[in-house]
Amino acid sequence: MILRFLRPGFSAAVFGMRVLFTVAVSPVVLAQEAHHPAETAQTAEESAFLAENDAAMTKMMNDMAAKPSGDIDRDFVAMMTPHHQGAIDMAVIELRYGKNERLRRIAQEIIVEQRQEIDAMKLALGEQVTDTTPAPTQQPGAKPAPAATSHDHMNMHHDMMKQETK
């Protein structure tokens, strides 16, 4: 009501400020709501998925806040490595809970590709790449299957040929 007695340009400016404030605050509010999705989960499995995903995102964001070293390339790798590791962690969570076979295959590809990116960045800095962690789809403590050798493939091929001639 008081705005009527003020200059017409002033009420338009106040209205514009209110619109800008609403536009600026909405994404912040939505981000805060999206950051706590476990509270709105429908099932126990979905709650577990959302909690693990939230933990992975929080870890990634915290780890990306690397202290500058004075070396731009090292700082880039120090920030990108947790970013890629976060993608790996989220893909593992998809493999643990997801049902869609296409998405599960994509998650497997993400794991391989992001690990390769991490290794490539480390190699570019001259760092040693020594990945001793088990594949994320294996149970912790499980021994990986022995790698097949070319000799094994030849035996497999020979055995298959025998079966076909029977």
Cβ atoms of 38 and 53 within 8 Å: the answer is: no
State pLDDT tens for residues 11-43. Answer: 555 455 554 445 444 444 444 445 555 456 689
Residue 149: is its pLDDT beyond 80?
no
Residue 79: is its pLDDT beyond 60?
yes
